[in-house]
Structure 1
């Protein structure tokens, strides 16, 4: 079972809207090496896992796959903020990146000149399950051979390629909103590189000086350096509510990245609070008139008056 905590896995820094950066981030969400692919690949490998003696490996896959759900939420929310052009947004009227909402202008007037018209025409200024050129995400991306060493090798390649692409996206934009999310994913991809490298080390593979991939000299990215200084590249989460995960048997010892850090495991990150975005009247969303709002409020009051549920077995 999975549980949802209503906190974002990392802070999204506020900045001006930037539809072009949003479209670049679509590759990191719905591309062949994006977060939707890592989420589905690791979870399906977990669901299909065979061999009770390999439980620490399965638990490692489960932990990383569950974290990737949070990454999908993070990057999708970031894209939504970058294409946010509500007339209620009152930014700098002279900033070209602020054209969608400057002075209360209707953002749909400029949708024809943005990187992905579907962000406005189909997605109501939100993220889409597509790559940067609009190709739909495909389940055929998911690799699950059933052979543990082969799957781990493939996963390491997937994390390395995703990290490479995110380093490129970071260089493409100065937008603080985009960079705050991309920097976090660069560091967490390195943590996952370390996880799969450590798992392969347990199977006899010696990585030497290969990792991290790519060799980014990440300290030149200030947002990345801040996270590296916190040791986030050497920490893995289990997301195990019942504390039965055995992933820590693998994710321990010296980091395969040879950066002088020790690998550690935690149940879950603390996360940060987040707010639901404002309505988008120009997109006719969410479309709640006075009568519907009254019905929503009445329904909420009725549901709150019922006995709250609790996780666990039903008592007799």
Structure 2
């Protein structure tokens, strides 16, 4: 089973909307080497895993795959924040939907020339399961051979390529919202590279000569350097509520990154940060609820929470 904690795995720094950066981030979400790919690939490998004696490797795949779900949530929310309010975010929420915004712009004028017009036409200024060119995410990208060594080699290549692409996206924008998420994912990609590299080493595979990890010098990025100083590249979470994960049997010892750190898999999950729902977008008619509907929703929510409160106490 999977449980959802309503917190984001990392903080998204506030900045101005940037539809162009949002579209670049779509590659990191729905591209061939994006977070949807890693999520599906590792989870399917763990679902189809065979051989009970190799349980630590299954647990490692499952832990990383579960983390990737939170990465999909993080990058999708970031794309929404980069689009949220564009292009009339300085207008008043009480204005009619066709009132000109900042600088006299009509509500969705920017959509014609910035980023991906489908962000505005189809997704109400939100993320979509597509790449930066608008191509739908493709399930055929998922590699699940059933052979543990082949899968681990492929996963190491996938994380390395994903980190390389995120470094390129980082260089495309100075938007703090985009960079806060990109930097976090760069460092966590390195942690997952370390995980698959260590797993291959434990199987006697000399991956350094067969598949060297590309050097990106990502530590020069200030946001990345701060996370590296916290040792985030050398942690792997279990996301296991029953303390049965054996991934720590693999994710241990000196880091394959040769950065002087030791791998640690003792934490269940990161603390995370509060998750906040984005404001309404009146020009998109999103969510498009009037006062009577909002009152009905609130009343329904209170009714649904009654059995929860009676069983577990008040929900805060």
Regarding TM over 0.5, the answer is yes
Q: Whole-Å Cα distance in 1 between the matches of residues 282 and 213 of structure 2?
A: 44
Note the C-alpha offset of 1:40.
0.3
Note the C-alpha offset of 1:303.
1.5
The aligned residue for residue 102 of structure 1 is: 102
205-214 or 1-10, which deviates more: 205-214
Q: Is the 8 A contact 1:41 1:142 kept in 2?
A: yes
Note the C-alpha offset of 1:110.
1.7
The superposition leaves residues 75-109 of structure 1 with CA deviations (integer Å, 9 ceiling, x where unpaired) of 00000011112577329xxxxxxxx9636854412
Q: Is the 8 A contact 2:187 2:232 kept in 1?
A: yes
Q: Whole-Å Cα distance in 2 between the matches of residues 124 and 152 of structure 1?
A: 38
Q: Whole-Å Cα distance in 1 between the matches of residues 31 and 58 of structure 2?
A: 25
RMSD: 2.0
The superposition leaves residues 198-244 of structure 1 with CA deviations (integer Å, 9 ceiling, x where unpaired) of 00001002345899833122231000000000000000000001010
Q: Is the 8 A contact 2:86 2:110 kept in 1?
A: no
The aligned residue for residue 22 of structure 1 is: 22
Q: Whole-Å Cα distance in 2 between the matches of residues 145 and 236 of structure 1?
A: 24
Give structure 1 stretches of 5+ with no counterpart: 92-99, 312-316
2:284 matches 1:283:
yes
Q: Alpha carbons of 1:307 and 1:78: their partners in 2 closer, same or farther (altered >3 Å)?
A: closer
The aligned residue for residue 119 of structure 1 is: 119
Q: Is the 8 A contact 2:9 2:70 kept in 1?
A: yes
Q: Secondary structure at the match of 2:7?
A: coil
Q: Whole-Å Cα distance in 2 between the matches of residues 19 and 101 of structure 1?
A: 16
Q: Alpha carbons of 1:208 and 1:145: their partners in 2 closer, same or farther (altered >3 Å)?
A: closer
Q: Alpha carbons of 1:301 and 1:129: their partners in 2 closer, same or farther (altered >3 Å)?
A: same
The superposition leaves residues 48-67 of structure 1 with CA deviations (integer Å, 9 ceiling, x where unpaired) of 00100010000000000000
Q: Alpha carbons of 1:310 and 1:52: their partners in 2 closer, same or farther (altered >3 Å)?
A: farther
Q: Whole-Å Cα distance in 2 between the matches of residues 229 and 154 of structure 1?
A: 28
The aligned residue for residue 269 of structure 1 is: 270
Q: Alpha carbons of 1:253 and 1:83: their partners in 2 closer, same or farther (altered >3 Å)?
A: same
Q: Is the 8 A contact 1:106 1:282 kept in 2?
A: no
Note the C-alpha offset of 1:172.
0.7
Q: Whole-Å Cα distance in 1 between the matches of residues 6 and 212 of structure 2?
A: 32
287-296 or 239-248, which deviates more: 287-296
Q: Whole-Å Cα distance in 2 between the matches of residues 286 and 75 of structure 1?
A: 21
Q: Is the 8 A contact 1:187 1:233 kept in 2?
A: yes
Q: Is the 8 A contact 2:18 2:83 kept in 1?
A: yes
Q: What does residue range 115-264 of structure 1 map to in structure 2 within 5 Å?
A: 115-208=115-208, 213-264=213-264
Q: Is the 8 A contact 1:11 1:180 kept in 2?
A: yes
Q: Alpha carbons of 1:209 and 1:254: their partners in 2 closer, same or farther (altered >3 Å)?
A: farther
Q: Whole-Å Cα distance in 1 between the matches of residues 207 and 107 of structure 2?
A: 50
Note the C-alpha offset of 1:298.
1.4
The aligned residue for residue 79 of structure 1 is: 79
The superposition leaves residues 269-291 of structure 1 with CA deviations (integer Å, 9 ceiling, x where unpaired) of 00011210001111111111112
Count of aligned residue pairs for this structure pair = 303
Q: Is the 8 A contact 1:18 1:175 kept in 2?
A: yes
TM, length-normalised to structure 1: 0.91
Q: Is the 8 A contact 1:86 1:101 kept in 2?
A: no
TM, length-normalised to structure 2: 0.91
Q: Secondary structure at the match of 1:14?
A: coil
The superposition leaves residues 16-75 of structure 1 with CA deviations (integer Å, 9 ceiling, x where unpaired) of 111111000000000000000000000000000010001000000000000000000000
